[in-house]
Amino acid sequence: MTTASRRPRTRIQTRNRDAIMAAALDVFAAQGFRGATLDQIAEAAGLSKPNVLYYFPSKEAIHEALLADLMADWLAPLRAIDPAGEPLAEILAYVRAKLAMSRERSRESRLFANEILQGAPRMGPVLAGELRALVAEKAAVIRRWQAEGRIAPVHPVHLIMSVWALTQHYADFEVQVQALIDGDPWEEAERHLMHHFTRVLAP
């Protein structure tokens, strides 16, 4: 536990911690974990390195805090799939939510991608535990919908991973997307993905 976390934060402490988290997100997303330094994070936050260390004992601690916040938000749309809902509508809503998150939180997506590319040294237990359990739960819902003849018989886990791949691509490969598409790609991307998944899932 850090010195700053042992008691309620003042407004200045909250502001400084938020500044550190925002700066670290920029630095980690651009440099990756290995390339990022506390000096870079401090400079981006407009704080001294000792001030950063007052809130977080290490670069690792900042990175873990960012990933923990990211996973909580990133999994929320998957949790929101309603077993009692209309199957195609539920899955298309999930695709829209994931695409919106990729648009609005592209740095967070790249942060997560960098962690996975490094072998998930900090997120491994979450992937094998919380994420695996949640995907298994939603895969069971999709299998039931398929058994009822309400959507096509596609592999449910691969379906979920396809949603990840086809939405987060626009964030993780943003530079490539911008090089290939003139203007804003997001509206057309949503139309394309809605058409794609509607066809894939049609019973």
pLDDT in tens, 76-85: 999 999 999 9
Length of the chain equals 203
| pLDDT of 5 above 60 | no
Name the token pair of 79.
């949790």
Choice between 91 and 12, residue whose per-residue pLDDT is larger: 91
Q: How many angstroms separate the CA atoms of 121 and 113, rounded?
A: 12
Question: Class for domain 66-201, per CATH?
Answer: mainly alpha
Q: What is the DSSP string of 28-52?
A: HHHHHHHH--HHHHHHHHTS-HHHH
Residue of 16, 11, 79 whose CA lies nearest to 47: 16
Choice between 111 and 97, residue whose per-residue pLDDT is larger: 97
Each domain of the chain, given as residue ranges in start order, spans: 3-57, 66-201
Q: How many angstroms separate the CA atoms of 134 and 138, rounded?
A: 6
Q: CATH code for 3-57?
A: 1.10.10.60
- Report the mean per-residue pLDDT for the chain: 92
